[in-house]
Each structure stands twice: as C-alpha cells, then as structure tokens.
Structure 1
Amino acid sequence: MDPYATYFSGYPYFYPVIGGLLDRLGGVELARAFSLLCMMGVTSCVYTVTQKLFSRNAAIFAAALYVSLGSVLFVGRLATYDALCMLLLGIATVLAYQVSLKRNPWLAIWIGPLLILAVAAKYAALLFSLPVLGILILFSLQKQGWWPMVLRVVIVIVTSALVGVLAYYFMDKAVLQGLSLTTTNRVAIIQRSPWQLLVRVLQLGGIAYALGIAGIYLLFREKRYRWLALLLFGSSLLVPAYHIYKQEYVSLDKHMAFSLFYAMPLMGFALSRLSGYTRQRLSIGRHWLAGLAIVLLVFTIGTQQAETIYAGWANTTDLSYELHTQLRAGSGRYLSEDIEVARYYAEDVSDSWQWNGVNFFYYTDPQKKQFSGNDAFTRAIDDSYFDVVELSFNYQPYQSHFIAQQMAASKNYNLVARVKFQNSFGIGYYYLWRKATPGQGNFTSLSQVKQ
C-alpha cells in the first residue's frame, strides 16, 4: 500500500474516505457532484456574509461574481478535497460574523472544530484559517467591545486546542511528514518566476481585485468598516503572496478560489454601488446594465479559463484501453508515471498492490538487499521486476527520462504501444513497455520515444 500519509496534502483518512465511498456508490461523477454541492454551499456563505455586512443587493452581486470565476468553476468540477475544505472554511467564516453580532458568545465553540476539520481536509487551510480569526477579532471588537471579543477568541482557541490534541492522539503520525513536504516546507514542483505568477494571478482575478479596490475606496469614503475592508482584501492576497514567494505554480489555479472568497463582500458592495443598487430593496438604478455587464464578462472569461485549466489533463480513454490489453489481476508488477488515473481505470483488471509510481519507490533484490530512489529503479529494471511500464514524460519528465534510459541500457523491455493524447499544452504520447526476454528487448534507445 502507498504511504499516503507521508505525501498526501490532506489527512488520508478524512476526505479520501468520503470520496472513496461516493466513488463506490456512483463512480467519479458522484464524487464530482459532491464537490459541486460543496461549492454551492460556499457560494451561499458568500451571500450570507455579504448580506450581513452590506445588503441583499450586494450579496446577490457577490454570489454571482463568485460562481463566475474560472478557479471556482474549476474546483467545483474536481473530485478532490478542495471543495470540502472551502465549505468548512466558509461555514466557519459565517459563524465568525454571526457570533460577533450576538450577545451570546457560545456559538464560537463550533469555529475551532470547523477549522481543524478544514485543515484535515487540506493542510493549506492553515493559511486560510488566519482570515477567519482576523474577522472574528475585528468584527467582534467593532460590534461588542474588547472583553466580549477576548472571550470569543479564547473560546475558539481553547476548542481548537482540545480538538487538535484529540486528533493528534488518534492520527497517523506519518501525516507530520506529509504536512511538511506538501505545505509548511514545500519545495516547488513547477517553478515559475514571480512575474509569471503575478500575471497568472491577474488573469484569474484581475477584475475581481479591481472591484475589491473600488470597494475599499467606497468604504473609506463613507467612513465605515475601514479596517475590516483592509483585512478582507489583505486576506485575498495571502495565496498570491505565498505562491510568488515559493515560486510555485502547482495548485495556484485552485487556491485562487480560496483567496477571492474573502474579498467577495467588497466586490459585491462595489458592484451594487456601481449599478445603482443602493438600498436594501431591489431597485434598478441608471447604471444597472454596467453591473450586469461586468458579471457577464467575468462569467465569459471564467468559463473559458475553467475549460483551459481542466484541459490541462489529457483524455485517458485510449490509454485505459491499451492498459486493459496488457494487465492481469493478481499477476505482475506495474510502473506508471500517471499512476493515479492508470490505476483507477484499471481496477477491474489489476490489484492496488501491483502498482508503483515513479516517486517513493523502494526495491529489495533477490539477495534481500534494499535500494531506494534511482538505485532502486536501476536494479529493478536490470532484474526485469516490472512486467509493464507506462511513461508520458509529462508530469515527472526528469524521472521518466532516467527510467527510460535504464530500460534502453538493459534491453529488457519491448516498446509495445504509443498512445497519442492532447491537452491544453499541446500533443504528447503515453508509452507502454512490456517485459521481454532479458537482453533481447526492442527498446534500445531514447530516440524511440522522441516527442
């Protein structure tokens, strides 16, 4: 079994259990539907928060803008933990506003557990939890005063600590390694320059950020919610700042949905003012078409962006067909660069233990000597350990080239299939090898897999 806890960016016994159950009941489409429902819940949170702060009209615009963003549409289609994490953060944010308005502080006991669950779903929620606490502190201070604010914050801290200690006692301690590798001490997988990342941030949220700045200007002019406006807008910059600092491109498209969630009240307020919707009751002002036009513009751009991002993954139908001609359940070992999709769609003709990815591989040779990393691949290929190998030179190109080079040098494998695919980056191929008579394989040069 894969050591999921050591590299998974969320607790492997939380969302994966939910996703696995949904997959068993209705396949991956049911898991996608669950993400869609979660994102609908997040949109409801956007509406609720904006309505509490400003007005129903501003809330309508905020919700309409949020569901039109490309990153939001993208996350709503993924069968991943992101949507569940966002829903938990969204509910915690609503409670932070709600408890700040009420005299009774005990509703705050639910904020801590929700934040812990959000972190369990996706470790990056550690960063996104900071705005929730900031909102609670600032809004409680404005509405209740110093001591009620302190009481609410203490309740959240104590409940978070209790739930955190309890979770630590029962959890698999290997998750600490996963937390470090994927979040707190992450090494960039796909590096981009700060300028490239800034351009990508503006592509995904440029219009939204412009509206957020307009919202800050209007609130400062009206002399209300000034510090809260700065907190919300500053919170929306946490994700871009983190990715630019780490120079990490991976997951930026998803994380922008988290980031812009916090600034949506500002954007909805600005758009309602621009459109002439200044009262709680719906009324059409002379500029109402401007607001509608901006929403439609964001939706048009957002759908195109979501389609492009989603097309970053190639259609694997043909790969699945070719794999089904080579695999046998309970017999053989398989190495795959695209292991997640290959293993998932080959569940009917293989078992999980038969699969290995190109990362975290360990090998014990017939003499019981243990190897890891590239040494493990070299020795395993020399021993013809893998019956079938699949590489695309796409997601792990350097590791894949090393493996292919070792297969060519050993002459232990036949190149049996080349499956064409196309994604938003261009055209490529999935290559399949099968174990041959040692030293007599037809794969002898990397030129045979030249893209």
Structure 2
Amino acid sequence: MATESTMTEARPEGKKLRANVKPAPYRIPQAPPMGWSPTGSKRREWVSRGMVGTIMFLQAVLTLRLRNSPSVGEVHTLTDYRSTPFIQGNESIYPTIVDALGITGARFFSLLCMLACTAMVYSWSRRLFNERVGLAAAFAFAVIAPTLVVGALATVDAFGLALLALATWLTIESRQGPAWPVFLAAPVAALAVVVNYSALYYLPVVTLLALLVSVRVVAPVMAAARTAPLVLVTIGMAAFTASVTSNQKMPESEDIGTLAEGTFHWLGLITGLALAGAGFYVKRARMGEVPRGYDEEPPGIGWRIMLGVILCLPPILAPVFLTLTPSVAPLWKPPLAYSALFTATMAGVGLVRIVGRHFRFPQWGIMAAVALLSIGMAQSSYEYTLWPNASRLAEVLATQVQPTGKYLASDPETINYYLKDKTKPTQWTPTSAGDPTKALKKMTFDLVVLERPFLSKADEALEAELRDSGTYRILNTVPFRLGWTRGTHEIWIANDVPVK
C-alpha cells in the first residue's frame, strides 16, 4: 500500500507527466471560437466562381432569346450609314468591328462585353464587401432589361460599357495599396468615351470611387495625387466631346418627364434595393456574422455615406444624362445600363441585408430576385420588338426591286441593309425627306413602303394620297409585331409597273 508521500510524488507538477505515462502519438488542436473562418480560401473562391459562371450563363440565355431584324441604331453603325445626323462615338473603332463581324457577329460581341461587365461587377463588389454581396450584385445586373437589351444590340453601348467597367475595376483594385491600377484606369476611361460619348457622364463616378478607395490606404494628399490622372482625363474628354459634337445636329430627345418615367420603370426595383442597401450599410458596416477582430477594421460612417451616395446617384441623375445623350428612337432606354453598372453593387448589399445573417429571411431575397428576373425578361422582350422585323418584308421586296428603280419607304436604311446586293442607298428616299406627294403624282417612285402604325402625320397623309390618287395600288401587306401590338408594312406599286 502506497504511503501518502509516495502518492504526492507521483502527481504531476505543472506540465510534468507521471513517470509511467507515455505522451500520446497525436495532438488535439485548439478549437476555434467559430465553426467557420471568414478569411478567403480556395474552396470558397472556386464555389463563388462557379456561381458567377451560372449567373453569366443565365444572362447569355436570356439575351440570346431576343430576336429581331437590325434596328435603326444598329444600321447606323454600318459603314454605309456613317453620314448620320449625329454620332455616338468614334467613327472608325466600332464600325470597323461591325464591318469585320457583320450584324450577327457584332451582336455576339456585345453579349461578350456585357458578360465581362457582369464578371467585373462581381469582382469589385467582392473586393468592397464579400462574396455574397458580389454574387447578389452580379445577379441583379445580369437579369435587368438594360443589360439584356444592350447585350443583344450591335451598337456602341456594350463596348463602351465594358471599357468603363474595366476602368472601375482597376480603381477598386487599387484599394490594396498599389497605385498602378488607378493610373492605368485613366487611359481605359478615355478610350471608353472615345468609343461611346455617353460614358463621359459617368467618369466623375469612377473618379470619386478612385479617391474614396485611395484615402483608406494613403494620406489624403497622396490620394488626390493618385486620382489626378482621372480628373485630367475627365476634363480633357469633356472638351474633346464638346468640340466633336458642336457641329452635329442632335436628335430631339424625350422630355424629362418621359425620361424619368422610363428610368423608374427600368431601374426602379434595382434602385430601391440599392437605396435600402446603402441605408443598411450606413447603419451597420458588418453583417453581424463575423465577430469583431476576424475582419479588417470597417470604414467610418462618413466613408460609408460617401460610397452609398456615389453608387446610388447614377440612376437618380440618369434622366438628365439621357437628355444630353444622342439616341435613335426607340433605343434611348438601353444606355440606362451605365447607371445600373454602379448601382448593382449597392443593390447586392440590399439583397444580402434583407436576407439577413445566416439566411434568416431567405423568402425576402427570393421574392426580390424573382421580381428582378421576371421584370427584366418582360421588359427586354417588349423593348426588343419596338421596331419592325424587316426580314419578311425584305423577302417580298427582293422580287420587286431593280438596280435602276426609285423607291420610297418609311425606313429605307433597314430595308437597304437586307437588299444591299440588289439596290443602292441612293435608290431609296425616306418619307421624311421633304414633301413626296408631288413626286407621287408624277409617279417618280416605282414602289412605296409604308409602316403602320404611321411614324408621323406626314406618312398618314402620304397613305391617303396613295389611296386617292389612283396611280398606285397595294401589292402586298406584311404583318409584324410592335411591342404588345401588331403592325403592318404596306407595299404600294405604280400601276404601270408589272407585277413579277
């Protein structure tokens, strides 16, 4: 039997083990205070990239479902129609792309540009916040109508938007300290304006973002120095654009009330989510899932207010920008994608915050996502049919036109695009050119194509003259869809011209 002294000696003192106990061949690590880590990991990055790829695939499917003949704005990008009453960007960069790819290839190029914009929206939203915000922002941007319509049009909007998104991504990239991204953003932003003059109005947003992210890593004086190239580019491109467009006859734009109403219908939901997200972010920087000390020190309330204002202001000012932006009716709404490019980030914050930490209220997020998707699909389908499909009309006209004939049409540019192998642009006269009624009495035109509903009162008067004169007769009518309504192309032919 062991004595009391023997038992005392056998007990461990501090970290000393008993003489007859061997150390275990394994070590139990210290348990962390949480079951997951908020720091980045390869697994989380690849899961997020896979989800972004799924969102981009959905965007591509929704865009490719939009089908129609080239719009007036698309035809204006062709080489044969560079003498337009106004210009939206450089007359050589984008038309060269269209000449090389054709309308179909140029539309696919626009889709690739918009997919790149979605990827960059995710990237900079993730850098400013986290993966959840990045995914929500990418989804919000990918399914709205302006994104889908711009991605389905062979116009300068998509290319200019992709360059502006690249400049924004570079400015956000500078938040980690190096100055070269924000310096590189300056020439990229200048190229965006050269491609599409509409990008000029959003350069101040990129400049303010660059200044805001710089003050978090360097002193205010150094932040101003880093932002100076973007300031100079903004001033220089404003002067350049003013000098180029000073002699151009700008088209008549919609009134500010109509533009504001259209902006509300197209961007109302995503702007509401963005305003909610900005309010939540100003009130609380963190979601509450991550204990204090596991992420970097959050920015102050003043910085958060400035970020919310910068990202939410573009859609509010969009009607003003649209009054200064040249556009061909009915394509004045797609440039709203420029505003959505910045607003999507705060909309992502709004979606994440209404779902709550640990997905406490997923039903609210699902409802908002379904609303964004359904409204975007309906609006894009409607907007992409606001100009007549001229493909069936061209099939009928191909058997009637001659290389030496004279023709009158409501939309001769689109018709000549389809019949460019059979006719020349000089053979077609628009109904808006002067008063063609006198020419009708002299039977100057061998064939007349009118679009109903009528584009103007002049077309309506012209149709009455055709019916009353007796010198022309209807050869055929070709129906088409115009929004939610139906339209018709009327083909009138001179009585002394034999029908083929």
TM-score of the superposition, structure 2-length normalised?
A: 0.70
Matches within 5 A, 1:142-157: 142-157=216-231
Shift of 1:402: 4.9
The reply to whether residue 240 of structure 1 matches residue 319 of structure 2 is yes
1:37 corresponds in structure 2 to 112
Q: Does 1:415 align with 2:474?
A: yes
* Mapped pair 1:83 → 2:158: yes
Identical amino acids, percent of aligned pairs = 24
Q: What is residue 129 of structure 2 aligned with on the other side?
A: 54
Q: Does 1:181 align with 2:261?
A: no
In structure 1, the gaps of 5 or more residues are 278-283, 362-372, 442-451
- The equivalent residue for 2:455 is 396
Q: 266-275 or 156-165: which moved more?
A: 156-165
Equivalents in 2 of 1:242, 1:391: separation in Å? 33
Residue 485 of structure 2 corresponds to: 426
Contact between 1:97 and 1:136, CA under 8 Å: does it hold in 2? yes
Match of 2:386 in 1: 312
Query: Is the aligned partner of 1:20 residue 2:99?
Result: yes
Give the whole-Å Cα distance in 1 for the aligned partners of 2:160 and 2:245. 17
Query: Match for 1:333 among 397, 406, 409?
Result: 406
For each residue in 1:87-146, what CA deviation from the matched residue of structure 2 results, as whole angstroms up to 9, or x when unmatched? Answer: 111111112222354343x43343333233322332222223231222223333344333
Could you tell me how far apart the structure 1 residues matched to 2:465 and 2:89 are?
Answer: 34
1:216 aligns with 2:278: yes
In structure 2, the residue matched to 1:205 is 267
Query: Residue 263 of structure 2 contacts residue 318 of structure 2 at CA under 8 Å; is this kept in 1?
Result: no
* Cα distance, 1:164 vs structure 2: 8.7
* 1:34 Cα offset (Å): 1.2
CA distance in 2, matches of 1:201, 1:161: 27
CA-CA distance at 1:352 after TM superposition: 3.4
Counterpart for residue 37 of structure 2 = none
**Maintained 8 Å contact 1:113/1:160:** no
How much does 1:302 deviate? 1.3
In structure 2, how many angstroms separate the alpha carbons of the residues matched to 1:388 and 1:110? 55
Question: Secondary structure in 2 aligned to 1:208?
Answer: helix
The letter for the 2-side match of 1:130 is P
Q: Is the 8 A contact 1:6 1:174 kept in 2?
A: no
* Alpha-carbon distance in structure 1 between the residues aligned to 2:104 and 2:203: 29
Post-superposition offset of 1:400: 2.2
Q: Say yes or no: does 1:270 pair with 2:339.
A: no
Task: Report the equivalent of 1:365.
Answer: none
Shift of 1:176: 4.3
Residues 9-34 of structure 1, C-alpha deviation per residue, up to 9 Å, x if partnerless? 333322122122111xxxx3322211
CA distance in 2, matches of 1:251, 1:134: 29
* Cα distance between partner residues in 2 of 1:134 and 1:335: 51
In 2, the alpha carbon distance for the partners of 1:60 and 1:289 equals: 17
Equivalent in the alignment of 1:254: 334
**8 Å contact from structure 1 (residues 274, 287) kept in 2:** yes
Q: Secondary structure at the match of 2:274?
A: helix
Shift, 1:412, TM fit: 5.1
- Residue of structure 2 equivalent to 1:446: none
Once the two structures are superposed, the pairs formed by residues 124-203 of structure 1 within 5 Å of their partners are: 124-158=198-232, 176-178=246-248, 181-182=250-251, 187-188=252-253, 194=257, 197-203=259-265
Normalised TM-score (structure 1): 0.77
Q: 2:482 and 2:84 mapped to 1: Cα distance?
A: 30
Counterpart position of 2:187: 113
Cα distance in 2 between the residues matched to 1:36 and 1:334: 35
Secondary structure at 1:87's aligned position in 2?
Answer: helix
- Aligned-partner residue type, residue 456 of structure 2: P
How many pairs does the alignment contain?
400
Once the 2 structures are TM-superposed, how far is the Cα of residue 40 of structure 1 from its aligned partner?
A: 0.4
Distance in 2 of aligned mates of 1:275 and 1:56? 15
Instruction: Find the aligned partners of 1:109 and 1:436 in 2 and give their Cα distance.
Output: 68
Larger radius of gyration: 2
Map of 1:285 onto structure 2: 359
In the alignment, the residues of structure 2 paired with residue 397 and residue 243 of structure 1 have an alpha-carbon distance, to the nearest angstrom, of 23
Q: Distance in 2 between matches of 1:355 and 1:144?
A: 62
One-letter identity of the residue aligned with 1:352: P
* CA separation of 1:158 and 1:201: change in aligned 2, threshold 3 A: closer
Q: Secondary structure at the match of 1:78?
A: coil
Q: Residues of 2 paired with 1:385 and 1:110: CA distance?
A: 58
Instruction: Measure the CA separation in 2 of the matches of 1:380 and 1:125.
Output: 43
Residues 100 and 144, structure 1, Cα contact 8 Å, conserved in 2: no
1:6–1:176 Cα contact (<8 Å) kept? no
One-letter code of the match for 1:181?
A: M
Closer/same/farther in 2, CA of residues 339 and 115 from structure 1, 3 Å limit: farther
SS at match of 1:124: helix
Q: Call closer, same or farther: CA 1:98–1:174 in 2, change over 3 Å.
A: closer
Indicate the SS of the match to 1:332.
coil
Please identify, of 248-257 and 9-18, the stretch whose mean Cα deviation from structure 2 is larger.
Answer: 248-257
Query: Could you tell me how far 1:271 is from its partner in structure 2?
Result: 1.5
Q: Distance in 2 between matches of 1:181 and 1:175?
A: 8
Q: Which amino acid aligns with 1:212?
A: A
Q: Which of the residues 62, 70, 79 maps onto 2:145?
A: 70
| Residue 10 to residue 389, structure 1, CA distance change in 2 (3 Å) | farther
What SS is found at the alignment partner of 2:344? helix
User: CA offsets per residue over residues 59-83 of structure 1, 9 Å max, x none?
Assistant: 0110011112122122222222211
